[in-house]
């Protein structure tokens, strides 16, 4: 992977949250050991590229203030979050040692994810929008009162590009940044869906509580200050309506079933 000595490396590979919790060994083997193997390959190649690592808001654990400030200490409550936090520490140390120029971006939940559902515990946030818009039923496994922060795939791409281009000296030694996003409840997601696509589409959501998913999701943070990221030029949507419209334009060719 590093033999061509690229100027920029994007490290997005990983086992998602729900699967990392269900399969302890696989989660650590991929999310931590795999990350360190990549970092060491770059170190041994001795060419110091920019390395952009996708971390997660799962590095934070309860109890939380109403808004998570940039100085809030990571205390993950899942194996996935722990693996991401450990990888963040490696990124900061390898950057300090000059092995590469690393930037870690803590992504909010990316919504609406295209394609088929995966094993992420957060997958329903996308599913309750994506499936109804495609004429399919969606399962909602948590209460409508759940508050969460989202950004669109468009924003995720822009986060990655900006992280690849940003001046590392402006970032300083704190190399892991919490990205901005839109904080809404699940109920507000559904209201936005109804505004844009109509009540018939919104009725395709079926509430079916899942205690396993709820146990993971309730340990996640809800809102973020993301001041450092905003000051460094990272930007996301201002409303969940924008996120839904982006999905319709980019993935559905502007059409709703």
Active site amino acids: 80
Q: How would you class 130 by CB atoms within 10 Å of its CB: exposed for 0-12, middle for 13-18, buried for 19 or more? A: buried
State how far the Cα of 212 lies from the Cα of 21, in Å rounded to an integer. 10
Which H helix or E strand runs over 170?
helix 168-171
**3-state DSSP helix/strand/coil percent for the chain, to nearest 5?**
45, 15, 40
Three-state DSSP at 242 gives helix
Dihedral of CA 242/247/253/257: which sign? Answer: negative
Q: How would you class 173 by CB atoms within 10 Å of its CB: exposed for 0-12, middle for 13-18, buried for 19 or more? A: exposed
State how far the Cα of 18 lies from the Cα of 211, in Å rounded to an integer. 13
Exposure b/e, 135-157, CB count within 10 A at least 16 = b = eeebbbbbeeebebbbbbbbbbe
How many other CB atoms are there within 10 angstroms of residue 16's CB atom? 17
Residues 137, 85: contact at Cβ < 8 Å?
no
Three-state DSSP at 233 gives coil
């Amino acid at each position: 992977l590093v033999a061509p000595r690229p100027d920029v490396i994007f490290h997005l590979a990983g086992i998602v949250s729900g699967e990392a919790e269900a399969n302890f060994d696989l989660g650590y083997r991929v999310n931590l050991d795999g990350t360190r193997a990549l970092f060491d390959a770059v170190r041994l190649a001795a060419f110091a590229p920019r390395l952009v690592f996708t971390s997660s808001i799962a590095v934070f654990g309860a109890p939380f203030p109403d808004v998570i400030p940039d100085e809030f200490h990571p205390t993950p409550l899942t194996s996935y979050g722990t693996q991401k936090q450990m990888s963040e520490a490696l990124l900061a140390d390898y950057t300090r040692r000059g092995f590469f120029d690393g930037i870690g971006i803590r992504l909010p939940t990316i919504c609406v994810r295209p394609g088929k559902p995966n094993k992420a515990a957060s997958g329903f946030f996308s599913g309750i929008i994506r499936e109804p818009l495609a004429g399919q039923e969606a399962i909602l496994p948590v209460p409508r009162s759940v508050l969460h922060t989202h950004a669109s795939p468009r924003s995720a791409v822009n986060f990655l590009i900006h992280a690849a281009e940003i001046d590392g000296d402006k970032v300083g030694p704190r190399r892991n940044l919490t990205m901005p996003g839109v904080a809404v409840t699940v109920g507000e997601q559904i209201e936005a869906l109804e505004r844009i696509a109509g009540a018939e589409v919104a009725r395709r959501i079926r509430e079916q509580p899942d205690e396993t998913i709820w146990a993971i999701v309730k340990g996640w943070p809800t809102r973020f200050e993301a001041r450092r990221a905003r000051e460094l030029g990272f930007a996301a949507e201002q409303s969940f309506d924008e996120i839904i419209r982006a999905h319709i334009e980019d993935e559905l060719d502007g059409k709703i079933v």
